[in-house]
Amino acid sequence: MLLLIDIGNTNITMCFYDKSVKHVSRLNTLPARDRREYAIILEGFMLHNHISGVKGAVVCSVVPEIIPAFVSALKDVCGIKPLIVSHKLKTGLKFRIKNPEALGADRIANAAAAFSLYKGNLIVIDFGTATTLCLITEKGKYMGGAIMPGIDISADALHEKTAKLPRVSPIAPMKIIGDDTKSNILAGLVLGHAGAVERLIKEFKTALGARVNVIATGGLAGIVLPYIKTIKKANSNLTFEGLRLIYELNA
């Protein structure tokens, strides 16, 4: 039984892996928590799902200050030292970018999983706090990508930087052409985001000069994907699959 942990800017997502992803749980990311709080959370997560005998854990984090407390909590509760994802681990990939040490651990996990699970040249798009795109060649070369504000960040910015626009929670727009403030914002947020992603996909394909398979993941993917015709595959557990793979390659 593996414990897989994805620490994002907005949420910490955890699951157990035993032949497949099981018991996915999510909590808000709060850097102020200490090792005792994380230990209580982990104990409750395990008790609730009747889990014992965890043999290993993998942590993927884009919030570095949380890692020490989580590592200590895992040692206290499970008696194990987790594997921390970085470009230095075996991933099956060859990084062809400047400063690979700065690459987000979630993007490493996504790319490793996609290269293992899918064929051909790949674009991996993660719709999260930020929307990230990664380009991986059919030979496993990680060529780089793009980062843009996610839908939630865009919604926050509209509200915070204007005097009258409300904070609108992103959902699929009911109308393509908005006829009130909320529907205007939703059309701009979702359709505009979809259009930006489609343009990036097109430019990536042109730059590579070859056919590309596009795989989507991330908590906000479901809102945007109906409006992007070029994305045919989605895998909500892609990051977890990458963490499992990295564990198997490095354990």
At 184-209, the pLDDT tens digits run 999 999 999 999 999 999 999 999 99
- pLDDT score recorded for residue 246: 97
The arrangement of secondary structure in 94-238, i.e. its CATH architecture, is 2-Layer Sandwich (3.30)
Residue 13 has pLDDT above 90, yes or no: yes
- pLDDT score recorded for residue 51: 87
Cα 65–chain centre separation: 18
Q: Based on the number of CB atoms within 10 Å of its own CB, is 102 exposed (0-12), middle (13-18) or buried (19 or more)?
A: exposed
- pLDDT score recorded for residue 15: 95
Can you tell me which residue has the tokens 């993007």?
A: 107
State which amino acid sits at residue 251: A
The arrangement of secondary structure in 2-84, i.e. its CATH architecture, is 2-Layer Sandwich (3.30)
Q: Which of 251, 2, 241, 249 has the alpha carbon at shortest distance from 118?
A: 241
- pLDDT score recorded for residue 207: 95
Tell me the per-residue pLDDT of 136-190, one tens digit each, with 9 for 90 and over.
999 999 999 999 999 999 999 999 999 999 999 999 998 889 899 999 999 999 9
Q: Give the model's confidence band at 53: pLDDT under 50 very low, under 70 low, under 90 confident, else very high.
A: confident
- pLDDT score recorded for residue 31: 87
- pLDDT score recorded for residue 175: 86
Q: What is the DSSP letter of 51?
A: -
- pLDDT score recorded for residue 44: 92
Tell me the per-residue pLDDT of 37-50, one tens digit each, with 9 for 90 and over.
999 999 999 999 89
- pLDDT score recorded for residue 151: 96
What are the sequence ranges of the domains in the chain? 2-84, 94-238
- pLDDT score recorded for residue 174: 87
Average pLDDT of 107-117? Answer: 97
Which residues are known catalytic residues? 106
